[in-house]
Amino acid sequence: MRIVFFGTPDFAVPSLRALLRERYQVVGAVTQPDRPQGRSRSTFVAPPVKTEAHTAGIPVLQPARPLGDVFLAGLRRLEPDLGVVVAYGHILRPEVLSLPRLGMINVHASLLPRWRGAAPIQHAILAGEAETGVSIMQMDQGLDSGPVLRRVATAIGPEETAGALAGRLAELGATALVETLLLLAGGFAVPEPQDPAGVTFAPKIDRDSARVDWRRDAPALARQVRAFDPSPGAWTTLEQDPLKLFGAVASREQGEPGCVLAAGDRLVVGCGEGALAVREVQPAGRTRLPVIEWARGRGIAVGARLA
């Protein structure tokens, strides 16, 4: 079976590696273009999937968008039987979805139909859910709306961050992908239509949604900090300067929303209900560091206000 792999970030790499480890014939990889990084924007960094594909000697296509005659011609030259999509980052049009002889399947980081969309891991944590998982889905023209071939569930740890959960789900998805391909080859995979009544959406995270509102209760804010760790980072301001927060847990201490109640080994800040205890911060232009180091260097006082 000739497979073309669509994927971009670290999350997609375990699935590509699993296909190669199981001796599937990956004839090409489609990923996003190299991106400029650094203050000068002069250094271009390859997506993780491109790096992995080059290591394995797999041809790589990097269209700005997966459409147009040139891209489709390049895809046809690969003569794929099946497309596998894992966190590629673009919606695929019908002419792309229908090009592989056996269609395309997707590894999605939720238990569909729950959390369709770009940020299922973050939204599952934000919602305080105890469980999430991965779904292997046959792709159609809708947003993560195709029939599901396989679901694998896993618990969300009480202090698990989006980064840690993504790492686990990436490996879980890779295993589920290989299992699904075996079922498909044997004729045992039965597509299950998604129940419209269970649909929820997980839109892309923007900077505004990561801003902390200290009027909310402490458990909700602790989930927000975990959901946006490591990126984009839940943030607040101190004297109008942005400050990202990491490693937060809810505390029973009480104080005015946004008021600093303690600044030692933890930064404790009053909320609408309870308080938020933070272990790490990231001031603008700096790396993450323990609160005790930041507080010692900055001299933040009890009673200071975050907004």
Residue-range domain boundaries for the chain: 2-198, 208-298
Mean pLDDT of 179-188: 95
**The CATH number of the domain covering residues in 208-298:** 3.10.25.10
According to DSSP, the residues that pair with 84 across neighbouring strands are 5, 105
Distance CA 129, CA 121 (A): 10
Q: 135-139, 165-169, 182-186: which range is least confident on average? A: 182-186
Percent over 90 (pLDDT), the chain: 94
CB atoms within 10 A of CB 285: 7
Q: What is the mean pLDDT of the chain?
A: 96
Ramachandran class of 81: left when φ > 0, alpha when ψ lies in -120 to 50, beta otherwise: alpha
Q: What pLDDT digit, counting tens, does each position of 129-161 carry?
A: 999 999 999 999 999 999 999 999 999 999 999
The pLDDT score that the predictor gives to residue 293 is: 94
Which pLDDT value is given to residue 298?
84
Has residue 40 got a pLDDT over 80? no
Q: How far apart are CA 298 and CA 301, in angstroms?
A: 9
How confident is the model over 90-101, as a mean pLDDT?
96
Task: Put the strands of the sheet holding 104-108 in their side by side order.
Answer: 60-61, 25-30, 2-7, 82-86, 104-108, 131-138, 148-155
User: Can you give the pLDDT at residue 297?
Assistant: 84
Mean pLDDT lowest among 33-42, 63-72, 77-86, 122-131: 33-42
Q: Say which residue, 41 or 239, is predicted with more confidence.
A: 239
One fold for 2-198 and 208-298? no
Q: Which helix (DSSP H) or strand (DSSP E) does residue 298 occupy? A: helix 291-298
The pLDDT of 52-67, averaged and rounded, is 97
Tell me how far apart the alpha carbons of residues 191 and 138 are, in angstroms, rounded to a whole number.
8
What does pTM read for this prediction? 0.95
**Model confidence at 41, in pLDDT bands (50, 70, 90)?**
confident
- Which residue is it, tokens 């946004």? 258
Over residues 196-202, mean pLDDT:
97
Q: Are 125 and 223 in contact (CB under 8 A)?
A: yes
Per-residue tokens: 262:
């303690």
Return all residues near 124 (Cβ < 8 A) that are at least 6 apart: 110, 114, 115, 132, 156, 165, 202
Task: Give the pLDDT confidence score for residue 241 in this predicted structure.
Answer: 94
pLDDT at site 299? 79
**pLDDT at residue 196 in the model:** 97
Domain spanning 2-198: which superfamily?
Answer: Formyl transferase, N-terminal domain (3.40.50.170)
Counts for the chain of helices (H) and strands (E), in that order: 8, 15
pLDDT at 39 over 80: no
Q: What angle do CA 131, 85, 175 make, to 5 degrees?
A: 50
Q: Where are the beta strands (DSSP E) in the chain?
A: 2-7, 25-30, 35-37, 43-45, 60-61, 82-86, 104-108, 131-138, 148-155, 234-238, 241-251, 260-263, 267-270, 275-283, 289-290
Residue 258 identity (one-letter amino acid): G
Strands 234-238, 148-155: pairing is: unpaired
Q: Hey, what amino acid is at 102?
A: L
